[in-house]
Chains A and B, each alone.
Chain A
Amino acid sequence: QQQVKQSPQSLIVQKGGISIINCAYENTAFDYFPWYQQFPGKGPALLIAIRPDVSEKKEGRFTISFNKSAKQFSLHIMDSQPGDSATYFCAASAGTYKYIFGTGTRLKVLA
């Protein structure tokens, strides 16, 4: 019940395309859903986060879509660029719960 399932494991997208990464959770107590971006040799860094009182949050080319009834949330990267090539982790937490991370998606954007 504490797991966050992330898919796909890897993704290749053409420059200018849309990258979509999906996550699903079981614990309905989760109330904070961040996405972290990690470049090779670096630590993860917060990209964008959403709380379940909204169904969508957009920051530039990055959008989180949230479906509370399905217990799913996804990251959409519009107009994907080679500089977006990185590993993306979804996560979930709730109050005193620790962050639970997904297994990561390695995104490669072809020039």
Chain B
Amino acid sequence: NAGVTQTPKFQVLKTGQSMTLQCAQDMNHNSMYWYRQDPGMGLRLIYYSASEGTTDKGEVPNGYNVSRLNKREFSLRLESAAPSQTSVYFCASTLEWGKNTEAFFGQGTRLTVV
């Protein structure tokens, strides 16, 4: 029962470097999400994919891109990392879009940009 798996768990980047955060779910869920978590800010939605083949912006999409590679995988890319992107990133999935179902989260990626 892996659920939602994120890689890597920790990463340190220099300003201007790029990287891709990987997320995979094995629950046959249709919808996937990327959140960032910052102290005092809660969870803020970066991008989401309501279904395979679609992606859309959330609250804080600037500086990020996503790819829904297939039904299982949803990646988040930072093209040119900035210190403001230092955060903990969570991937999540839900069975359906538009229905109020439980969101399952990965363990998170702690990213530091220096």
Contact = CB atoms under 8 A, between A and B. Distances in A.
Interface stretch (B14-22, B37-45, B66-74): B37-45
A51 B100 CA distance: 10
B108 A43 contact: yes
A44 B104 CA distance: 8
A93 B98 CA distance: 9
- The contact size tier of chain A is 20 to 34
A7 B56 CA distance: 30
Main secondary structure of the interface of A (DSSP, over half): loop
Contacts of A101: 35, 42-44
Interface of A: 6, 9, 31-32, 34, 36, 41-46, 49, 51, 89, 93-96, 98-99, 101-104
15 contacts: A31-B100, A32-B100, A41-B108, A43-B106, A46-B103, A89-B43, A93-B100, A95-B99, A95-B100, A98-B33, A99-B45, A101-B35, A101-B42, A103-B41, A103-B42
Given A51-B100, A99-B103, 8 more contacts: A6-B42, A9-B40, A34-B102, A42-B107, A43-B92, A95-B99, A101-B35, A103-B41
